[in-house]
Amino acid sequence: MALETVAKVSDTPPGTISVHDVGGVSIALCNVNGRFYAIDDVCTHDGGPLDQGELDGEQVECPRHGAKFDVTTGRATVLPAVRPVKTYRVEIVGDDVKVDVG
């Protein structure tokens, strides 16, 4: 699978989310204490944009109905969502954040 550069490390400070279009896929890039995770930017409950939600540790909360997901695994942790969000492999190369959406 091919890694694509989506951002610089400094573009997404710890505790924040940035959204990026990667190969036609909207990706929420989450910085959890300096570790980066990439998930689909779409809540599996109602399609809400997860990048608009709050990132609290490893949990992101959908702003529409409060569903929560573990950004490290994609697992839905709080109802009303029951299905996980897709996760993507992330690598840091120098100052580049690369994501594999293959």
Distances (CA, A) of 53 to 2, 29, 49: 29, 12, 7
Out of 3.20.20.70, 3.90.870.10, 2.40.110.10, 2.102.10.10, the CATH code matching 3-100 is 2.102.10.10
Q: In what order do the strands lie in the sheet with 17-22?
A: 3-8, 96-100, 87-93, 35-40, 25-32, 17-22
Torsion-angle region of 63 (φ positive above 0: left; ψ -120 to 50: alpha; else: beta): alpha
Instruction: Average pLDDT across each block of 10 residues of the chain; the chain has 102 residues. List them in order.
Output: 91 97 93 98 94 96 95 97 97 97 82
Q: pTM for this structure?
A: 0.94
Instruction: Domain ranges for the chain, please list them.
Output: 3-100
Residue-wise pLDDT tens digits, 37-55: 999 999 999 899 999 999 9
